[in-house]
Structure 1
């Protein structure tokens, strides 16, 4: 199903949304790599769910107001959007930094709009003994080796990026640095709030991730009040790209209550 793209105003902020499908509402949040990292998942979800996939403010050339200065601001923005649209029983799915945003949303939700979570190789907490790799310190090759199970498989894709596409990626990383780098990729308060989140939570992890390791992911899942941890073989930080069939099957089962 083709997702429809629109820009809607929330206060002073034009928010870009991709949306399609019917059924349970699903809010799909991309990570630092931008909307393209969840595009395939968005298309898949739209076949059986009302899928809403925003472009975070500041990504892909979209405006980011000065007040949006942290992941908690992003989480509150999306909670407001869901409330104003009258949506209920929302499953929030987030990849990497989007997973962090999803967890913050559940922690900040006071109205019960969020009734399920799926975190895919999420950042957002500090785990003793399992530090988050400093992505900004990596060159392109090292970034691929840390992110992907099989970086050579995607070498041609990286080489084919145009100068404009590279510029967009660099601008996206500058936005990541602006809202998520101090402290680096985590909220000091979030880990202590996770036990209070009782909504059914699925934490998915590519077993070859070297940005945030499976040990980090398992500890993240353990901190929730009601979470299950699943490893995905032959995948790194973006299992929805490297192993879409396995990833989508786990997501579908959680979405439709078939676990």
Structure 2
């Protein structure tokens, strides 16, 4: 499997290029949902935060048709750029991409030393018996806030207050997400493949997440050799937005030790 990302893919860069590189991978809500992670890590690391192909009006080539394709594309871009020991941090779908990258890297000697660690924040992507992923595509704005946020009022975005352009962009992002992840937002084989991961992994989870529950997150952690699991109080699917200080308290020591 070998995919290539568009050469003009938007990649926000922050921090000192001489520092260790961290690739920050956003979820279905787009790059703005991981902006706090970018801002926090830019003080100590070299941050790369791409916009996935097909999100926010970017083109998506036919060769990028799955999360596995995205993962392969990002691995090849990092390799072509001469990177090594890269930290992957992914939120939601981004967490799925990060784990898929770690699995692919472990299976291909071309990527030896390329990935150094993974932080998966409330990532979807696996199938856990008894812990289904919420049907994101069936939820309206109110329903999404209820399952994704500890404080639903804080997370609710009134569709009536969106501009036509914002609404069109949101709908286009949803179509891209469905095309890449499938309507179930999972790869039935991924959980069994996580045992191949060879780098330190931290699984961070909001205790109030009802898109994918903490029990789901613990199952992911059990499947990855040596993975750590940290639950963030008073936070849902995006703990870095609802409880940033608690999220940094989990991530920073992990990165300092790694």
TM-score, normalised by the number of residues in structure 1: 0.91
Q: CA–CA distance in 1 between the matches of 2:8 and 2:191? A: 31
**Conserved in 2, the CA contact under 8 Å of 1:17 and 1:55?**
yes
Corresponding residue number in structure 2 for 1:69: 65
Closer, same or farther: CA 47–160 of 1 in aligned 2, 3 Å: farther
Corresponding residue number in structure 1 for 2:10: 16
Q: CA–CA distance in 2 between the matches of 1:38 and 1:162? A: 22
Could you tell me which of 36, 45, 69 is aligned with 2:32?
Answer: 36
**Conserved in 1, the CA contact under 8 Å of 2:95 and 2:120?**
yes
Corresponding residue number in structure 1 for 2:166: 165
Residues 22-101 of structure 1 mapped to structure 2, 5 A cutoff = 22=16, 23-101=19-97
Q: CA deviation at 1:256?
A: 1.7
- Supply the RMSD in Å over aligned alpha carbons: 1.6
Q: CA deviation at 1:86?
A: 0.5
Corresponding residue number in structure 2 for 1:205: 205
Q: CA–CA distance in 1 between the matches of 2:73 and 2:256? A: 26
Q: Do structure 1's residue 147 and structure 2's residue 143 form an aligned pair?
A: no
Residues 180-219 of structure 1 mapped to structure 2, 5 A cutoff = 180-181=181-182, 184-219=184-219
**Conserved in 2, the CA contact under 8 Å of 1:45 and 1:51?**
yes
Secondary structure of 2:10's counterpart equals strand
Corresponding residue number in structure 1 for 2:121: 120
The runs of 5 or more residues in structure 1 that have no matched partner are 1-9
**Conserved in 1, the CA contact under 8 Å of 2:12 and 2:50?**
yes
Judge which range, 148-157 or 15-24, deviates more: 148-157
Q: CA–CA distance in 2 between the matches of 1:150 and 1:125? A: 26
The runs of 5 or more residues in structure 2 that have no matched partner are none
Corresponding residue number in structure 2 for 1:106: 102
Give CA-to-partner distance per residue, 1:125-179, whole Å, 9 cap, x none: 1000101111011111011000000011244787654332222111111100111
Q: CA deviation at 1:247?
A: 0.6
- Runs (4+) of structure 1 exceeding 3 A deviation are 10-13, 154-161
Q: CA deviation at 1:12?
A: 5.1
Q: CA–CA distance in 2 between the matches of 1:187 and 1:198? A: 20
- The alignment of Structure 1 onto Structure 2 pairs a total of residues equal to 248
Q: CA–CA distance in 1 between the matches of 2:179 and 2:20? A: 33
**Conserved in 1, the CA contact under 8 Å of 2:27 and 2:94?**
yes
Q: Do structure 1's residue 244 and structure 2's residue 244 form an aligned pair?
A: yes
